[in-house]
Structure 1
């Protein structure tokens, strides 16, 4: 009788958790226009908090430290916005021309393969691959991301208030919990791991974006800054992101410079991502801050469905944050292990 009651309570508990999850996800999807700017502001605030506190440690007043950090952020965003805005408009206007050239070149390759006997019959290019869809997806995504910064003032205000609130958080935690010391240690451990992940990932992504930009300038591919920013943004999505960021510049290289240079671009991307993502990043990141490839793919689909393109870019940081929180408790650590990479010790 007791076992039956226990089983029923466990089943009820599971149903309550499942129902709560569905309600939360539905609420997030409905409130996408509010949640996306908030998450973006939170992400930027986490990146901005180390220099903000470093300036205060050097004796600079809090208000002046805030102004320096905010003006630095606005300067960087303005420069990137000017460069990217021009590139996006020019790239979008030339999409029909690129599509026509790519189709012509691909049809030429298919005809050559057919004549050589490698293919038995001519292939309809639209059935195999639609090149225009790739370019259009990239253009629409970049336009949507750049359109998000129309809410720039709101995001900026949220960043300022978040940075101001961080310093008072320990005092609030002491008043919130019965055992404040243990709770503060746990919160500090979670925040340190989140800060560590975002700081290292951001640094690696900036390095990847810069290397891609310089490399494409040397090769002579159009819009190198645009593809560098794309490589920076998508580098937050392990493995899958680097593949996605390669496709548009690779297709553009085929159209602009030919297949020989496209192979050079492919090799260059492989070298850059291998050094930055497979050698440097694991050494800096350490153990415990990774995700399995399957979880990365599922999180990309899930957060993209819930929050749109920005959700896709923030999918891995959001999932890593959940994993770190789960890993901080003995009761939920088993789930954090399931989310982790394939190789565990």
Structure 2
């Protein structure tokens, strides 16, 4: 092996080892990193609204205070409403699990009438349908534990917004090629602002429509399931499907298969309209990430940072992609992360 190839192999090995050490450090310190990431993205989302208030001659400090007072008031109102529903649901969860297992056994008996013989005990040992409903409770509990640091998150986001005007000057002083780097930073901020704004509106519409639909059908805890639909809609591809599971199962055990089927069809209709009609209309060509990369990023960031990592998987992957595009060595990997149309035109 030539000396040049040996040097390249050693360099790749060192980079891989460094990446493993960094990821291990991030996972171990996720309790600190997750609130900081939430604060960063809250600041990014709030910055356009603060700039809008500035057009009406509102001082920046006052605009920041107004925006965050509104966020805290709305957040506390929703948290109080959802918290009560979540407590009631948690108390009734053992009863719901028992009823769900009984329904599952009933389905096995129906299959037996059509000569589809299944062993109830063996199936329940491999697949306990009552555990599916835990996904909703675990998701909301995970977010609740993060939001326990609400004061730290809000305070950090406020300081970030105050610091935002001087970041550009600091970057120009710190980087060897500031103009190029600033172009990538501006592109990232524009992409994330656009994505989060559109996704928030679409998710809000999804949650409202789901909640109203469940209220009309008299499904218990419709507010809780509406909020869950809003939150999980941030998770690409599978979030909306996960949000439908607890509502469908609850309708099944309390109101029967007919209502459960209507709930499932309703969720499919809402998600199809919002995800395939409304969102693409405003999102345009999208974010330049392939569908496979979006799904894999969901798994990766969820493993690394938990529930919040799943919610922020697309913006975080965008950061990585834009950083790779700024480097000659990493540009090939950025092309692999992008869609085929982008790869041809870039």
Superposition TM-score, scaled by structure 2 size: 0.91
Instruction: Please show how residues 230-249 of structure 1 align to structure 2 within 5 Å.
Output: 230-249=228-247
Give the deviation of 1:286 after TM superposition. 2.4
Q: Deviations over 1:176-229 (max 9, x none)?
A: 234443332332122212222222222221221112111111222111221122
Which stretch of structure 1 is more off in the superposition, 39-48 or 327-336? 327-336
- The partner residue of 1:123 within 120, 123, 133 is 120
| 1:278 aligned partner | 276
Instruction: Please show how residues 67-216 of structure 1 align to structure 2 within 5 Å.
Output: 67-117=65-115, 119-124=116-121, 125-127=123-125, 129-216=127-214
Query: What is the SS of the residue equivalent to 1:167?
Result: helix
Give the deviation of 1:121 after TM superposition. 4.0
User: What CA distance in whole angstroms lies between the structure 1 residues aligned with 2:271 and 2:30?
Assistant: 32
Which stretch of structure 1 is more off in the superposition, 308-317 or 71-80? 308-317
C-alpha spacing 1:284/1:13, structure 2 compared with 1 (3 Å)? farther
Give the deviation of 1:66 after TM superposition. 0.9
Are the counterparts in 2 of residues 45 and 162 from structure 1 also a CA contact under 8 Å? yes
Q: Deviations over 1:264-319 (max 9, x none)?
A: 11111111111111222223222351533433333233222222222222223312
C-alpha spacing 1:249/1:122, structure 2 compared with 1 (3 Å)? same
Are the counterparts in 2 of residues 290 and 341 from structure 1 also a CA contact under 8 Å? yes
Structure 1 runs not aligned, ≥5 long: none
C-alpha spacing 1:183/1:158, structure 2 compared with 1 (3 Å)? same
User: What CA distance in whole angstroms lies between the structure 1 residues aligned with 2:272 and 2:11?
Assistant: 45
Are the counterparts in 1 of residues 237 and 295 from structure 2 also a CA contact under 8 Å? no
Are the counterparts in 1 of residues 240 and 271 from structure 2 also a CA contact under 8 Å? yes
Query: What is the SS of the residue equivalent to 2:77?
Result: helix
Query: What is the SS of the residue equivalent to 2:287?
Result: coil
Query: What is the SS of the residue equivalent to 1:94?
Result: helix
| 1:221 aligned partner | 219
- The partner residue of 2:43 within 42, 45, 50 is 45
| 1:260 aligned partner | 258
Are the counterparts in 1 of residues 100 and 253 from structure 2 also a CA contact under 8 Å? yes
Give the deviation of 1:231 after TM superposition. 1.4
Superposition TM-score, scaled by structure 1 size: 0.92
| 2:336 aligned partner | 338
- The partner residue of 1:18 within 16, 34, 42 is 16
Which stretch of structure 1 is more off in the superposition, 130-139 or 160-169? 130-139
C-alpha spacing 1:337/1:172, structure 2 compared with 1 (3 Å)? same
Are the counterparts in 2 of residues 135 and 248 from structure 1 also a CA contact under 8 Å? yes
Query: What is the SS of the residue equivalent to 2:236?
Result: coil
User: What CA distance in whole angstroms lies between the structure 2 residues aligned with 1:79 and 1:342?
Assistant: 44
